[in-house]
Structure 1
Amino acid sequence: MASIHKDILIDASPETVWDAVRDVGAIHERLCPGFVVDTEMVDDGAARMVTFGNGMVVKEVIVDLDDARRRLVWSVRSERLAHHNGVMRVEDAGEGRSRAVWTADVLPHAAAESVGPMMEMGLAAMKARLEA
């Protein structure tokens, strides 16, 4: 299993960043517009259908939303992935800044070659949106 780790420093408070991350149905508006172009909540709010800017659509099951730890966990259901577990944590980086830490565990191992770059693009879109 490939485990991919990415993070980025954002010039916005942890509260501001977490508020956007935890709004799981509006990531296309509040968190990373352009990278994600649409989000639709499904399964009575237990999952979301996410449409990416490249046209890919995936179902993400929300596993955990932990306000105390500023931690979101989700699992992608996809034909190209045998397994996917994603975790986004928002950490206090001091001086009113945040560090967004994104980890994804994927199978097959080769999926890391496409998932890793997508994570980098997502974090860059987050930074641009939240620093605007």
Structure 2
Amino acid sequence: MATIHREILVDADVDASWAALCDVGAIQERLARGFVIDTVLEGDHRTVTFAGGIVVRERLIARDDVRRRLAYAVVDPEVRHHASFQVFPGDGGGSRIVWITDVAPDSAAPRFAGMIDTGVAAIRRTLGASRQG
């Protein structure tokens, strides 16, 4: 299983970043505008539509408000994909968001990495980012 790891520095404080991340039914508005265009929440599952037309069904696995960590898995028989986000206070203010994705088969990793990088850019735009990271 391949692992893709990204860290995102944003200007939004840790509470605002966590609130945006946890609004799992509105990521197209609060977290990743332009990358995600629709989210439909159904119990512990959500259907996410991306700007490129890709639609995925995800199962929300865990939410830890103390550690500010959210985990989910894509429900797809051909590709196993598990991901987590965790929000930390930034060193110089703002927040540091850590996004870790595990995907199998390994051959799917480059495709996922490209989508994740597009998502990182959208999160930076949505939550504000004057710093690289």
Instruction: Place the TM-score, normalised by the shorter chain, in its bin.
Output: over 0.9
Paired residue secondary structure (2:28): helix
Percent identity among equivalent residues? 44
The match for 2:75 is 77
Mapped partners of 1:111, 1:99: distance in 2: 26
Deviation per residue, 1:77-111 (Å, 9 max, x gap): 12541x11100011111333111110011101011
Structure 1: runs of 5+ lacking an equivalent: none
- For residues 32-76 of structure 1, give each alpha carbon's deviation from its aligned partner in whole angstroms, at most 9, with x where no partner exists: 01100000012xx20100000000000010000111111000000
CA distance in 1, matches of 2:8, 2:27: 17
Deviation, 1:19, is: 0.4
C-alpha distance in structure 2 between counterparts of 1:120 and 1:18, whole Å: 20
In structure 2, the gaps of 5 or more residues are none
Q: TM-score, normalised by structure 2?
A: 0.92
**Alignment map for 1:45-60 (pairs within 5 Å):** 45-60=43-58
Partner of 1:128: 125
Give the structure 1 partner of residue 116 of structure 2. Answer: 119
Q: 2:25 matched to 1:28?
A: no
RMSD of aligned residue pairs (Cα, Å) = 1.2
Aligned length: 129
